[in-house]
């Protein structure tokens, strides 16, 4: 169990009804950034309590929306939990919301080929899984 404390970015898939108050809409998803330092397990529980999951990213456009949204909170170098985990059999990443792991934009140093390396880096934000 990891004890790293990072901030939370919830994602909630919606219908055409729009987002709840305090959430940001992008396409068919609503995002909510919670600037609170918590462990991955606690972040996942908080998401579940509001019928959401930790963030999964599927395109450059979605990543740019998330980056812009998070920077509006004025937090320098935010570290954000992603809703990804490693498969215990093949050690490949997979999204906890069961969506396809079809997009990655890793920084040069992460993830490495180590099966214990659980970070996904993007140039302006640090995402952890």
pLDDT higher at 118 or 85: 85
Residue 93, pLDDT > 50, answer yes
Mean pLDDT across the stretch 2-13?
57
List the domain range (segments joined by +) for residue 93.
24-104
Q: Is the Cβ–Cβ distance between 57 and 20 less than 8 Å?
A: no
Q: Is the Cβ–Cβ distance between 117 and 85 less than 8 Å?
A: no
Give a yes or no: residue 53 inside a domain.
yes
Give a yes or no: residue 123 inside a domain.
no
Give a yes or no: residue 77 inside a domain.
yes
Give a yes or no: residue 94 inside a domain.
yes
Question: Count of domains in the chain?
Answer: 1
Give a yes or no: residue 69 inside a domain.
yes
Chain centroid to CA 34: how far? Answer: 12
Q: Would you state the pLDDT for residue 3? A: 43
pTM: 0.72
Please report the DSSP string for 114-127 in residue order: -TT--EEE-SSSEE
Rounded CA gap, 20 and 84, in Å? 24
Give a yes or no: residue 96 inside a domain.
yes
Give a yes or no: residue 58 inside a domain.
yes
Mean pLDDT across the stretch 90-109?
74
Give a yes or no: residue 116 inside a domain.
no
Model pLDDT for residues 100-125, shown as the tens digit of each residue: 888 776 555 555 545 454 555 444 44
Model pLDDT for residues 62-84, shown as the tens digit of each residue: 888 888 888 888 877 777 788 88
Rounded CA gap, 10 and 54, in Å? 5
Query: Which CATH number characterizes residue 62's domain?
Result: 3.10.100.10
> How many H helices and E strands in the chain?
2, 9
Residue positions counted in the chain: 129
């Amino acid at each position: 169990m990891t004890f790293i404390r990072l901030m939370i970015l919830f994602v909630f898939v919606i219908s055409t009804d729009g987002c709840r108050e305090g959430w940001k809409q992008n396409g068919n998803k609503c995002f909510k950034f919670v600037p609170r330092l918590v462990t991955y397990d606690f972040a996942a529980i908080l998401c579940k309590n509001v019928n959401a999951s930790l963030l999964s990213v599927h395109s450059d456009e979605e990543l740019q929306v998330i980056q812009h949204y998070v920077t509006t909170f004025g937090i320098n170098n935010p570290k954000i939990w992603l809703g990804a985990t490693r498969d215990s059999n093949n050690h490949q990443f997979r999204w906890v919301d069961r969506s396809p792991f079809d997009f990655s934009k890793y920084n040069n140093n992460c993830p490495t080929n180590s099966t214990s390396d659980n970070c996904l880096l993007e140039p302006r934000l640090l995402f952890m899984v």
